[in-house]
Structures are given as structure tokens and as C-alpha cells.
Structure 1
Amino acid sequence: MPARRVVTGRSQQPRKRFAEELRLLRNGRGESLRELAERLGWDASTLGKMESGTNLGGPEVVEALDTHYGTPGLLLALWEVAMGDNSQFKEQYRRYMDLEAEALSLWHYGVSILPGVLQTAEYAREVLTLGGLKGSDLEQQVEARTGRRKLLEG
């Protein structure tokens, strides 16, 4: 079967595509991040991080963006796909995470560090900081680890 042809030229990675669509919609309206933030009542830095793909935001801000742009449910659907995207993790962890997402139970033995799926944001930040991560890389990994906790809540 031949490879699927890319028609739009936009990213095929869910996280990047979500960020790209947010930028395109805002630029299409000719709005600055500051103007958008004022209209929606959200912080401009949060919206900027979402457009750069550093942070995906939460469902509330995505729903507000859907309403603002007149794309009912489209951005929320892209956000849900982006939340499940594990491309920001090293290849060696992706298979494990796919299995973890499908598992009905999980057994883990550890003597010093909690597994990522059980880590709170504060715990993950401390562990990752000790490992040398800083700045946006640190925040991206903290968000990714705490996002895995949703498996336990599901």
C-alpha cells in the first residue's frame, strides 16, 4: 500500500498539529496573543505556550477557543488526540506507555522512585530537576508524566 500523501503540508504529529492549528486560526483573524487573551480572559503566556506546543492547556481553555473561532468541538477533538500523543517521549518508553494505556492492572516494584504514572506534578518536577532537566523541557515532561495519571482515574 503506498504511503498516504500529505495534502495540507501541516504536521502529522498530534501535539505539533494542535499548536499549528491554534496559530493558524489566530493569525487568520489578525489577532495578537494579547488581544486573544483579553477577549477570552485567559493568560497570554498560557495561550502562547499552547501555540508553541510547550503546554496543551486544559479542556476549558480549548472549549473557549472553539467558541471564539466558531469551530465547535474541532479544537477539543485535536486536543484530545494531542493529549494521547506520546511522541515527546524517547522511543524506548513509547511501547511501554502504549501497553500501560491498555492494561487492566499494573504491577511495579521499586525501591526509591515512584513510577511516572503515580507521580504528582511536584514529585515529578523534583525528580526531573535532579536529573538535569530545566525550563520548557522540564515542564513538558512534568505535564506528560502527570497526564499519565489520568489512566488511573479512567
Structure 2
Amino acid sequence: MSASLVLRRRLAGELRALRLQAGLSQEAVAEYLDASAYKIVRIENAQSSIGISDLRQLLALYKVDAETRDRLIDLGRNARKRGGWWSSYRDVLPGPYVQLEAEASLIRNYQPSIVPGLLQTAEYTRAVILASNHTITPEEIDRRITVRMKRQERLRDTEAPLELHALVDEAALHRPGGDGEAMTAQLEALIDAATLPSVDLRILPYVAGIHAGIGYPYVILTFPEPADPDVVFCEGHAGERYFHDAQEVAGFRADFLSTAKVSLDRDASVTLIKRTIREIRT
């Protein structure tokens, strides 16, 4: 079983709710555990796991019933388990995004400038990596490409495919990722992806003008269990940012819906991609 950041988030949310219900501050809980308040903050933000011994003490402090105690201890044990295919690639994965994506059931991705990672070809990925890091070694490039191709396998899973709703700005179709042949192959891959039942690909045309999400890419991750709230992921030169607050996440969802309304439908999007391919070839 994989290390589950999602389960850790679920446990953190429940522990925070129990603490508030008990009317205790993080400082009071830290004193009870003979630990620092910083440790409690990290546990409640799912930034670190909690040991089973500490978990038992907290549940006793919060005076939970036996059924809740057993359920949360079981959750705590599962949240601490390690594994998953991504474990072998930790050296090229700067943050927890891939693990979150691996446990998500729905990804909503807006991309204003490049093709979304889950829809990239290997050569296009290579061009993206090289553009952002001129000193990277060929070995690390290959490992990063392997990770990206591995992530894409879930889109074609016949039993439980990852559902992807991708909004891609028309600019991404015209910005070359490699030479003309590589870019043509990338656009053809987009057309192929659009035929998958798990993929809803929509192009945001130039004529849509200024819109809600303009200027910044983001990913909204939704998980199969209602107890696990959505997470928003943003990536830029300043690094990775994650939004967990319900109100902030709702804002991103509203932006995505607004942008989707001014995007082309699937058939019109494919027609635009085909036209772009013809332009490249002429």
C-alpha cells in the first residue's frame, strides 16, 4: 500500500476538528504531549505524520468514543505506510503533487501557455524541461520524462481511469515545443487524447478575450472519498503552492467553470488543433 498523503490530510482534519470541539489550543495540546506547538501545527496541516503513541494520547485527551478511537488509529496506521511507484523517483519530484495526483479521481487543469503535463509527448516534455533548466543532466531529463509518461497511464486505465478536464489556451498550440515535427506529433497526441472517455479537452480560443483564469496555470485535484477535500496546486518560478482552504478552492472552481463556458467544445477544439497542424506543415 502506498504512503497516503490523502489519508494523512483526512486524519489531520479530524484531529483539528476534535481539538476545537474540546476547546483546546494547539499550545495546550503541545504541552500535554510534551512537544512543541510547531509539531502540532505540522500534524494538523498534514505536513508531518503522527506516531501511533502520540495519536492514542491525543484521542484520550479529546475523550473520543471507542469506535472513533479505533477508526482513527487504523487511519493513522494506513497514513504512515510507504510505497508507490513514485518512491523510486523522489530525486526528481520536488513536492507531493505526484502522490496527490496518483490518489485523485478527477483533475481539472487550466494551462495558459503550454500543453498540460498529462497530455504531453516525451519530446515535448523534453523541450519544456530544457527551457526551465539549462544545467540539468541528460539522466535527470530522462527520469523526469519517465515519471510524466508513467503518470499518463491512468488516463487509459480500463478499470478506474483518472478523469481529466483540461482547458488549454490557444496560445499553447502555437508555441513550439521542439521542432516542427515534434510539435506536430504533440498536437496529434492531443487529438488522440480527446477521443478518450476519461478526457475532456477544450481549447480556449483567442476570441474569448480576457477571462477569469488568465495569466496563471492551476490544477484542482478531487478525490474519490467525500471526506477528502479538493486541493489546488499552482507551480511557478517561486516553487509549488497548495491551497486547501475551502473558500480559496471554491474560487478556483468558479474560475475554472467560468473559463470552460467560453472555451470551445470537444469537436470544435479538435478542429482547431487540426487547423493548427495544417499551418505548421505549410
TM-score normalized with structure 2 length: 0.27
Q: Of Structure 1 and Structure 2, which has the larger fraction of its residues in helix?
A: 1
Larger radius of gyration: 2
